[in-house]
Structure 1
Amino acid sequence: MLSGWNLTPKSRNDCTGMLKIRRMYVVTNLESSAASVIRDNKLINSTTVVAVSGGLDSITLLHVLLSLRTTLSLTLIVAHVNHGLRGPESDADEQFVRNIAHAHGLPIYSTTLNVLLQAQQTGSGIEAAARKLRYDYLIHVARQTGARAVAVAHHANDAAESFLLHLARGSGIHGLASHAPVRDLTNHVLLVRPLHGVLKTEIQQYAISNTLQWRTDSSNTNRQFLRNEIRHTLIPALTSVFGSDICTRISRSAGLLREANEIVQRTTHDLVSKIVVDDNTYRIPIVMTEALGQAQTHEVFRAVIATLTGNLPGYSTIQRVWGLVAAEPGHSVEISDMHTVWRDRDHLTFSKNIQHHETVVTITADGEYVLGKRTLLVETKNHCKVTITPNPNIAYVNSNAIVFPLVWRTWKHGDRMVPFAKNTSVLVSDLLTNAHVPSSQKPYVHVIADAEGLLWICGVRPAERTRVHPTDQSITIFTYL
């Protein structure tokens, strides 16, 4: 097995020397930690993409996995992301990683990304934009190569930094429990952190004892990034007060929170499965929120919003949605550019916003018509007895009261109709409210009209002028499916 490599460069940031490998192997905490993660997640005899930046941590991770390659039957693939933020320095990092991959006969995938453009387009920070693009690329490489896992070099100090960062931001259990040793990147690809339980000092000692060479990222000292401020100011301060194992203890606390969070998520998953309507709609009964209480309801909200939008909601979003529980029907909260939560009479409805297209279907004669996901059947019966069956989705209309062509469309604000059994015109919006149509469903309501006005609010109420009399010889039947 491999114990180390020596690139024998002129400087630590140079990779021009030839690779020399020492054939000594000593089991260390790094190797045992990595082996445990691999075994526990059944990654033996599988392909793993190793994210290698060229820095100390990722170079050490690659060396550790190479040391375990034969024992655990690992197929390793190197992936490098050039964020293009440090000019020639970034390019030199990429070449450094290429040299190492080639020296070991490992396939390497690399890309150069425009992080600044991503940050501008999304309004996110540089770190967030870089992380999003980086993981998207790693997933791409994993899918392309059939890898079961992507390995990154995060360690115990990183976990402590993330914990403190989320704590400072006021995060809940989800944020504080982040940085798990393993999690799903996609349905078929795992993100693994083989050095999760290892301290930075152990990584440094391992690298030095194995004469590893690595690149130094100048941005790691930039105090403009909050994580660097935590790393260089807060962690040393905590270490001076609580001792050198503070990162281990913080990481352990995060682990305990993860265990608690797993219990919460299992319960939440069961609850969410009971309120799903379709891929774009969830309906939570108000009585359920009262029975669950605020804390557990918040977890349900969080899971539903994350599923619909693809993003974990923040504290303020959860609070705004919780406010709808006590609100009057008709109130709503936007949870993304494309999703809204509505307070209906008895439910909170989480749904994708309807795309308002002025689609109009012209009805010229009897037949079958389609508008969106709905179907309308039109049938005229002459000189025969018709049995009128009460059904909100069927309208019986005096054929002499309507003039073809008809139009079938979504109702619009300002639409009015004299409803059945009334003699004055009423706004459709008021008729929908009086009929207790949920606010979340109002945008989807269709109407049928002729040149003189509305004939039927589909599924809700017909117009008075369509009333069928016993002497009528021709009846048109609309069936709304």
Structure 2
Amino acid sequence: MTADADFTHAAERALLRQVAANVRSHNLLQPEQKVLVAVSGGCDSMVLLDLLHRLTPRHHWILGVAHFNHQLRGPEADADEAFVRDHAARLGLPFFAGRGDVRALARQHGWSLEMAARTLRLDFLIRTASEWGSPTIALGHHADDQVELFFLRILRGAGGEGLEGMHWKSPAPAGRDPRRSTETVPALIRPLLNLPKATLRAYAAWRKLPFREDRSNLAPDILRNRIRNELLPLLESAYQPGLRQTIPRVMEIVGAEAAAVRLWAQQWCASPSPPFHQLPEAVQRAVIRLQLRRLGREPSFTLVEQLRLRPGRRIHAGPNLWFIRDKSGQVHVAPPADLNFRTAQHTLDLQQPGRTAFGGAELSWRITPTRGPRIGTPRPGVEFFDADKVGPSVRLRFWQPGDRFQPLGFTRPAKLQDLFTAAGVPAPERRLRLVAETSSGTIFWVEGLQPGELFKLTPETRRRLRWECRRANPGCDTAPAVLASHGINDFEHG
């Protein structure tokens, strides 16, 4: 690397003054405090470490260096760790290393590698800072990261709170287990947040700072990389040359509005008035997000909406984790679900119209003459079957281990467990799903799934069974889950 021709001693002094001003104006650090600096070995974090180290004699900070090895790039990742370790030793700073199985965590939770890596890295940084006694973790995020994050979150459907971007200083998440007691966690600070990437690169060249290039930053299968390397250059060249100036303004405006909603939500949580259902939707969402974070859970839009719209109902939020919102608007961790299989069953005589209550649901049936498969306008919770194929009596029960079912469009039966997985039905909720089978033991209906392929109406149908299921909580009174007509093997590895 050679020094940037436009970078001078004056620019170097100005950059040091700017970072010091950022620390002072945003109250990022106090004199003589410990600071754990997260260093990947890349340009941004190496510049951050260098700048803080040069400012330390004036502020008497006590710096420590933390590096997390994601173990995704084999020898290259190990070389990154050794590089940062050696650099910390040259500066005379304590070094903390961490490792984690990113791929295993991603498989366990169904996450992307990026999400799993971020989670493990943050867990390591929080744990290390707490054990070392540092109230602060310094990160190398810069202005270009903010712009990339804006578009990343837009593409993922974020609201105002997400589009306001990263803060100069924010509390670190409490951890991945929202049920453990809330503990004091270090603050995350970003002293370089208003500095462009080009300035950091020029400074590194000027100072002849060594750093490691991570090849994964060029991988096109990572969305953030495509935004950085493809989308932003296109927008700047063809639509808005001043994109890196206009986007931060948008983020500031959106962030201010989100902060106002957040303040309203905080005030409501301290004094719940007016009633929750009278709050504007934006404030309702903010109230739920605030409570989830206090419970240690980073809220998703789906989780927030389910809690907002379904008071009194247990909402699945992860392995063995459920939340519930009461009618007053308070969110609680729900007790563990009953995972035992239910053995109750009930035999129904279909030869006469009837109605019965079973398993928290109300079912009704009626057989009428018909010609062909015409059923008219479908209604939620109502299914139609060929009555002669179903037979004069059926058995109503709950899902049991080993059950197999052939939904509409499937060429042969699949494990019901795999069908539930494909339809996104949480494990504890599956135990509550009702099943109806013929006298010969063939399942023709499963609550919430498509009707049975072998019992559908055809041009030869002469008698039609109208089958209706209703319950107070959404379940069988919702439209059946749509499962693609894949081969049976697609569902046999759940």
The two structures share one fold, judged by TM-score above 0.5: yes
> Is 2:275–2:328's contact at 8 Å kept on the other side of the alignment?
no
* Correspondence for 1:324: 310
Superposed displacement of residue 264, structure 1: 2.1
Query: Which structure has the larger Rg?
Result: 1
- Asked if the contact 1:61–1:195 (Cα under 8 Å) also holds between the matched residues in 2, the reply is yes
Aligned residue identity for 1:182: K
Structure 2 vs 1, CA of residues 306 and 162 (structure 1 numbering), >3 Å: closer, same or farther? same
Deviation at 1:334, TM superposition (A): 4.0
Aligned pairs for 1:90-239 within 5 A: 90-185=77-172, 187-239=184-236
Amino acid aligned to 1:324: R
Aligned equivalent of 1:33 = 18
5+ residue gaps, structure 2? 3-8, 175-183, 346-357, 362-494
- Using the TM superposition, name which of 25-34 and 265-274 deviates more: 25-34
State the 1:73 CA deviation: 1.6
Kindly report which structure 2 residues correspond to 1:263-412, keeping only aligned pairs within 5 A, or say none: 263-274=260-271, 288-308=275-295, 310-314=297-301, 316-324=302-310, 333-336=315-318, 337-341=320-324, 347=328, 350-355=331-336
| Structure 1 residues 331 and 126: alpha-carbon distance in aligned structure 2, compared to 1, 3 A threshold | closer
Unmatched 5+ stretches in structure 1: 1-10, 13-23, 276-284, 359-412, 415-426, 431-481
Matched positions, count: 328
Check the 8 A contact 1:155/1:196 in 2, yes or no: yes
Q: Deviations over 1:85-124 (max 9, x none)?
A: 1011011111111111111111111122211111111211
Query: Percent of aligned pairs with the same residue?
Result: 30
Paired residues of 2:324 and 2:334 also in contact (CA < 8 A):
no
SS of 2:310 mapped into structure 1:
helix
Whole-angstrom CA distance in 1 between matches of 2:279 and 2:62: 47
How far, CA to CA, are the matches of 1:152 and 1:211 in structure 2?
21
Alpha carbons 1:268, 1:299 under 8 Å: kept: yes
1:182/1:350 Cα in 2 relative to 1: closer, same or farther (>3 Å)?
Answer: closer
Shift of 1:245: 4.4
Question: Would the alpha carbon gap of residues 353 and 211 (structure 1) be closer, same or farther in structure 2, given more than 3 Å must change?
Answer: same
Question: Would you say the 8 A contact 1:30–1:203 is kept in 2?
Answer: no
Given residue 220 of structure 2, which amino acid in structure 1 is its aligned partner? R
* Gap change, CA 1:111 and 1:341, over 3 Å in 2: closer
Q: What is the distance in 2 between the residues matched to 1:356 and 1:68?
A: 54
Specify the SS of the correspondent of 1:150.
strand
Query: For 1:418-467, what per-residue CA distance to the aligned partner results, in whole angstroms no more than 9, with x for missing partners?
Result: xxxxxxxxx9x99xxxxxxxxxxxxxxxxxxxxxxxxxxxxxxxxxxxxx
2:321 and 2:336 in contact (8 A); partners too: no
Q: Deviations over 1:179-201 (max 9, x none)?
A: 11111116351111111001011
- Determine if contact 1:47/1:147 at 8 Å carries over to the other structure: yes
Q: Over residues 169-225 of structure 1, what are the superposed CA-to-partner deviations in whole Å (9 max), with x where a residue is unaligned?
A: 111012111311111116351111111001011111111111111111111110110
Is structure 2 residue 231 aligned with structure 1 residue 250? Answer: no
Alignment of 1:76-87 (within 5 A): 76-87=63-74
CA-to-aligned-CA distance 1:379-430 (integer Å, 9 cap, x gap):
xxxxxxxxxxxxxxxxxxxxxxxxxxxxxxxxxx99xxxxxxxxxxxx9x99
Q: Note closer, same or farther for the CA distance 1:109–1:294 as it changes in structure 2 (3 Å cut).
A: same
Alignment RMSD, CA only? 3.2
Could you tell me how far apart the structure 2 residues matched to 1:43 and 1:178 are? Answer: 24
CA contact (8 A) 2:276 2:329 kept: no
User: How many angstroms apart in 2 are the aligned matches of 1:253 and 1:61?
Assistant: 26
Q: Measured at CA, do residues 66 and 351 of structure 1 come closer, stay the same or move farther in structure 2, by a change above 3 Å?
A: closer
Name the amino acid aligned to 1:321. Answer: L
Residue 235 of structure 1 deviates from its aligned partner by 1.1
Counterpart of 1:454 in structure 2 is none
What per-residue deviation string (whole Å, max 9, x for no partner) do you get for residues 60-90 of structure 1?
1111111211122221111111111101101
Could you say if the C-alpha distance between residues 351 and 30 of structure 1 is closer, same or farther in structure 2, counting changes exceeding 3 Å? same
CA contact (8 A) 1:180 1:258 kept: no
